[in-house]
Each structure stands twice: as structure tokens, then as C-alpha cells.
Amino acid sequence: MRTAEPFDLPPEKMKPLGRAKRWEWISLAYLVSAVAGIYFTLGNSQAMKAAWLEDLLSLIPPLAFLIGGRVCRRRPNGEFPYGYHRATTIAYLVGSLALLMMGLYLFADSVMKLVQGDHPTIGSVALFGHVVWLGWPMLLALLWSGVPVVLLGRLKLPLAEQLHDKVLYADAMMNKADWMTAGAAFLGVVGIGLGFWWADAVAAGIISLDIFHDGQKHLRAALGDLMDRAPRTLDYKHPVELPERIRHTVESLDWVESAQVRVREDGHVFFADVELVPRPGTENLVQRLTHATRDLKRLDWRLHEVLLVPVERSPRPA
């Protein structure tokens, strides 16, 4: 059984990785505090429930990054000859399914509450001998869950780009957008306070649609990754140019007539298969192939393995 070479990040990427890990740990600690803060002030506000759920679900990407990051650096072995790079993608698939289901459930629940005309009750708590309306601590908890998170997102975004890490990228984007969730819940609670009983369920409905939307976006991305879709950029908007660059590089070799390239992405790394037609009379083919392989790997730090297969005639272009 031929196993893939173990993949090690290039030395210049180790620093951003360490920083990313540190920020993800900080994110986890912060999110747990935000989740706890909202949990203790839930009352029976639907919007609070939705915000709480969203916060709970936003624990998934940092966890996927930290755990998946550990798993995917395991050495390839006889049982997993391609290595463990897909661990993060699978963590992602599971997380996005959770988002999707939760979003749907919450949306249905909010619509039911609206239809039935449920009037949410927010009572009072005793704080330091005063009877305080529970709405105030709720709003505080929402501020705590909605403001610092945006800064975290902004810190993580450049790291995600440097490491080309999809999980980290999705996480940073989710964080950056999280203030809107908190804001919607905030308006829901203020709405209850002003006597608009429907504001709560409406806010929860908007948040749940958003959770659903996030879920389907990530689910599609994860499925695409698992189906070996042609590699795309971090935001999944454009195909990467790498396959074209490899083909171009191979075809510019003076002993190559034509080449066809296929690239698949495994988590952070690329595996490329190249079929090439050598010019008639090429000597030292094996040596040339070996050199070309080594040179091709320098095209991109994520290009982990290149297979050059000499063929007689050019295969049909894809």
C-alpha cells in the first residue's frame, strides 16, 4: 500500500497557525460565556432561545478547527493511505446539518407561536434586594454575545486567508455576522418590553431563517468538498487557477507535447494527477518525470502530491 507523504505546513505558515489556534481557544471560552449568559436570562422569550441556539451552534466551527486540525495532521497509514485531511470536512458536514435542522425547527416553532398568538412573559428577578425586570439582564447578555464576537471574526479572517483554511474562514464570517443575530434578538426583547407581543416571535423567525441559510450554505460546501468538486476559493465563489497553472507549466516543458490535469482537494491540501504525452524520442523519461514532479510541487504550498503519468496519446480533454 502506497501512502501519501505526511503533509507538514511550510515553516512560514506555522506562526499564523499558532495564532489561529490561540484565537480559536479564546473564541471557545468567550462563546461558552456568551451561551451561559443567555441561558441564565432565557425567560420564555423565543428570540432569546434563537440567539442562544445560534451561539451554541457557533461553537461548532472552532471545535471543528481545533479537533479536526489535530486529526488531519495524523500521518497517512495503510488503513488511510491518503491521510486524514478530510476530518475537518466531515466535522463541517455534521455541523452544517445540525444548523439546518435547528433552523427549520426553530422557524416552525416561531411561526406556530405567532399563529397561536402566544404572548411571551418576561418576569422579574431579585438582584441586590431590587426587583429587576428580566428584560434588562437579557439585553445585557445579548450585548455581550453580539459585540466582542465581531472583533474576533475580524482577527480570524486574515489568518484564515493565510492558512487557506475553510473552517476558520467560515467561522470568521459567522462571527462577523453574529452581531445581527444579537441585534434581532435585542429588538425582539425591546419589542416585548414595549408591549408588542409579536416582536419576539418575528425576531426569532428571522434568526432561524438565517441559521437555516447558514446551514444550507455550509452543507453545500461540505458536500462539494466530499464529492471532489474542482477546488474553489475560500468563499467558494471562484474555481482556483491551480489546475490551469499546472497544465501550463507541464506543457511548457520542451519534452512534453500536451497534458491533462485533474486536481482534488483534501481539506488543506491538493492532490494532482497529470497525464502527459511526451514528445517522440524523449530520453531519460523517468528522470525527467521525477524532476518535473519536484518542480511542480513548488507551484503552490498546498500542492501536496503530483502524479505524472506518461501516456501514448492525448486523452480527451475534460
Partner 1 sequence: MTILRSIQCEEGDSMSGGGSRAVRLLLVLVLGAGCGMPRDPEGTLERVRGGTLRAGVVERPPFTRVGQGPPSGVEARLVEELASSLGATVEWTVGTEARLMEALTHRKLDLVIGGIPADTPYGAQVALSRPYLSARLTVGAPPGKTVPRELKGHPVAVEPGHSAIALLEEAGAVPEPTPQVHAASGLRAGFDWQLEAWGYTAGEATLKNEEVLVVVAPGENGWLRQVDLFLHENASKTRERLVQSARGEAR
Residues whose CB falls within 8 Å of the CB of residue 228, separated by 6 or more in sequence, listed in order? 264, 265
The grid coordinates listed for 6 are 505526511
Q: 312: buried, middle or exposed (CB in 10 Å: 19+, 13-18, 0-12)?
A: exposed
Q: What does the alpha-carbon distance between residue 185 and residue 139 come to, in Å, rounded to a whole number?
A: 9
Of 28 and 139, nearer to partner 1 (C-beta) is 139
Q: Work out how close the CB of 168 gets to partner 1 at its nearest, in angstroms, rounded to a whole number.
A: 17
**What does the binding site for partner 1 look like in residue numbers (CB under 8 A)?**
118-126, 131, 133, 135, 139, 150, 153, 174, 176-181, 183-184, 186-187, 190, 192-197, 206, 209-210, 213-214
Q: Work out how close the CB of 42 gets to partner 1 at its nearest, in angstroms, rounded to a whole number.
A: 14
Q: Work out how close the CB of 292 gets to partner 1 at its nearest, in angstroms, rounded to a whole number.
A: 44
Of 209 and 223, nearer to partner 1 (C-beta) is 209
Of 86 and 218, nearer to partner 1 (C-beta) is 218
The grid coordinates listed for 36 are 451561559
Q: Work out how close the CB of 136 gets to partner 1 at its nearest, in angstroms, rounded to a whole number.
A: 8
With CA atoms as reference, report the closest residue to 51 among 219, 238, 186.
Answer: 186
Of 183 and 310, nearer to partner 1 (C-beta) is 183
Q: Work out how close the CB of 211 gets to partner 1 at its nearest, in angstroms, rounded to a whole number.
A: 10
**What does 44-84 look like in DSSP terms, one character per residue?**
T-HHHHHHHHHHHHTTHHHHHHHHHHHHHTSPP-SSSTT-S
Of 183 and 224, nearer to partner 1 (C-beta) is 183
